[in-house]
Each structure stands twice: as C-alpha cells, then as structure tokens.
Amino acid sequence: MTGRIAVVLILVAAAIGGVAMWWLQLYAFYDRLDSADLTITEGGTERPLATTQIEAITSESSPIRFRACFTVDEVPTGDPHPNPTPLVTPGWFDCFDTSEIVADIERGAVTALIGTRNIEYGIDRVLAIYPDGRGVAWHQINECGRELFEGKPPPDGCPPPPD
C-alpha cells in the first residue's frame, strides 16, 4: 500500500512540476509592452520609425525574447539584414507567426531590414515590413555575439565587447 502512495505522490509532483515549467516558459517571463521605440538603419545611420498599433512582448530573462507587431503609414527603405531568422514566440502572442514570416522572407514577399545593430552587445533588432504596412520585429544574435557567446574573440569589425 505504501508503494502505491509513493507512486501516486511522485506522479502528482511530476504533473505539478510539468505544468509549472510549461507556465513559466510560456507566460511568467514575458511582459507586454504598451510601446516600443523602433528604428531603422539605412546607410549605417539609424532613424526613428513612426509606427502605429504596436503590440510587443519582451523579457528581462533574455535579450532575444523581444517580439513586436506594428503598422506603418509609409513603408521605409533600409539596410537589408544578411541572415534574418525570427525565433518562435509563445502561441498566445498570435500576431507574430514565425513560420509565416520565415516563408514570406524566403519567397521574397517581405524583406528583413536592420532595425538597430547591437541593441545589446551581440544582439540586433530586425524588422520585416510588408508592402501593405504591416510589420514585425524581433531580436536575434549577430555575428559579434555568436563568436563571443561561444567563448571566441569577436570577429574584425565588431565593437569591443563589454567588460
């Protein structure tokens, strides 16, 4: 009898732990933002991007958890990002569909642009703005960060890493 009680207690603890881990990953560490200052880089110079209807999330636990959806009145030009790779987002943030964004980038329906280089060392803010004015933004690790985070010195052309 005590063996059954122990098994039930282990299963209940595992279920509670699993639900807690799921909730922590998808909800606990994300904060909704009422606004976000977005910039676009053109010719190496950043300029503010006038946006409307912005919906964004971020997390203090990781600089690459930023995601935003917005609209612009005028589709801007800017420097294309060399390797845009949006990361998945929690399902409840439904304006940001990663698989759709990736497919649209691959087929040329949208061009990903550099928003802000090194918004945090080694992290770029990338923007993808559709011809109809809808846009999305995310953070991704750049070449400077990739090398530094792997314990290697940053490549030539990268700013000096923070102390």
Name the nearest CA neighbour of 125 among 110, 134, 113, 133.
Answer: 113
Q: What is the pLDDT of residue 27?
A: 65
Model confidence over 95-121: pLDDT tens digits? 999 999 999 999 999 999 999 999 999
3-state DSSP: the chain helix, strand, coil percent, rounded to 5? 30, 30, 40
Single-letter amino acid, residue 87: L
Rounded Cα gap, residues 25 and 56, in angstroms = 17
> What are the domain boundaries of the chain?
2-30, 32-149
Model confidence over 114-136: pLDDT tens digits? 999 999 999 999 999 999 999 99
Instruction: Say how many C-beta atoms besides its own lie within 10 A of residue 98's C-beta.
Output: 15
**Is the pTM of the predicted complex or chain greater than 0.95?**
no
Model confidence over 20-62: pLDDT tens digits? 787 766 666 788 888 788 999 999 899 999 898 899 999 888 8
